[in-house]
Structure 1
Amino acid sequence: MTTSAAAPPAVRSPIPLRERRYDWFFILVFTMFIGSSFTGDIVNMVGHPDPNSNFFLARVVYHVYADGTDPLLIANPRFLQVGASVSALVFGTFYVLLVYAFIRGREWIRKPSFIYTGMVVQTTFIVVMVGFAGDARLFEAVCNTAYDYTFTNTPKALAYNLPYIIVPILLTARMWRPHPFTRLRPAQN
């Protein structure tokens, strides 16, 4: 009776970044998101956009984006401060991890990316809906204010906010496979 040797099991090997050319999109966008979290969101975490602030970034956010576009960001109600704090501290740190994981092809980022997508899409959706609804009765009751939060420059506001809905959804599509950064290769004897 003869026995044949079983084929060695296949092992997973990293796919080099040069072969994952679409991943450069995520690296670039998440690098920009790092800048947004650690600059713009810090402003609303510790204060609000203000042209007369002693805080340089508060003046920058006011002049570059908020003035003439987003009165909600200038008013900075408590729910927005909380959202900006999460974005600055949690998402900002996660963007650093995402960039690292995409560059190095680390698959441990896959499951946390699904959680991130749910969180950031929901948060951004709320901000965008407030920008469209303005001073709706719900916001008057919840925020105790009659201030009109409606976007004053909707195209600009959407240009700044929609990437935080679209890119996470694309990230989920990219991470959908169980092994987004590796492929099977036969084991060597």
Structure 2
Amino acid sequence: MSANLPLRERRIDIFFAVVFSVFTITSLIADLMPTLGFDFSRPSDNFILNSNYWYAHDTDPLFMDPPVWMRIVTGLSALVYMPFYLVLVYALVRGRNWIQLPAVIYATMISTITGIIVFGVEFFGEPQWQTPNPVKFLSFNLPYVLLPLLLLVRMRKPEPFTRRF
């Protein structure tokens, strides 16, 4: 078993640690609100609710009045992915190889649930919802699918922290 490279030599892991730290915050702000049933269908004085209103109104109409299945998806993000992000950031910074399998499972789940189900319904499904503005929708949401897939590529080899990307 080889020694892991120091973090300063694993710049891609610094990038991933920053990105997934931000994902922790966005899961808390954006995904917890619809999961708990907060109403953000109109502007609010509350910063978090107003942020969700702004996003939903301008970018993602389905998010404004989510059906039960969408609340399950946001619940996964808020209650499962968010704690995982904290563990992932720790493992990336400390170079813990045990994160490899959980990271692969996470990336597979995210790409399946968000990439296929959510994007599919948003663009091709349920006619009762207004189709989102594709440019805004993809610019906000594509990183949440692409970056986990890049993490999957990062974690593809045994002992991922022993070599540069």
Fold match by TM threshold 0.5: yes
Higher helix share: 2
1:109-145 superposed Cα distances (whole Å, 9 cap, x missing partner)? 0001111011111111211111112534xxxxxxxxx
**Aligned residue for 1:172?**
152
Shift of 1:60: 1.7
Q: In 1, distance between residues paired with 2:131 and 2:125?
A: 4
Shift of 1:53: 5.4
Query: Which secondary structure state, in structure 2, belongs to the residue aligned with residue 93 of structure 1?
Result: helix
Query: Which secondary structure state, in structure 1, belongs to the residue aligned with residue 3 of structure 2?
Result: strand
The one-letter code sitting in structure 1 at the alignment partner of 2:58 is G
State percent identity of aligned pairs. Answer: 42
User: TM-score, length-normalised on structure 1?
Assistant: 0.79
Q: What's the C-alpha RMSD, in Å, of the aligned pairs? A: 1.7
The one-letter code sitting in structure 2 at the alignment partner of 1:77 is P
- Aligned pairs for 1:18-167 (under 5 A) are 18-47=8-37, 48-52=39-43, 56-63=47-54, 65-125=55-115, 126-136=117-127, 147-151=128-132, 153-167=133-147
The one-letter code sitting in structure 1 at the alignment partner of 2:135 is P
Bigger Rg, which one: 1
Task: Count how many residue pairs are aligned between Structure 1 and Structure 2.
Answer: 161
Q: Structure 2 stretches of 5 or more lacking a match?
A: none
1:15-42 superposed Cα distances (whole Å, 9 cap, x missing partner)? 1001111212111111111111111000
Q: 4+ runs of 1 displaced by more than 6 Å? A: none
Query: Would the aligned equivalents of 2:123 and 2:131 in 1 still touch at CA under 8 Å?
Result: yes
Shift of 1:149: 3.8
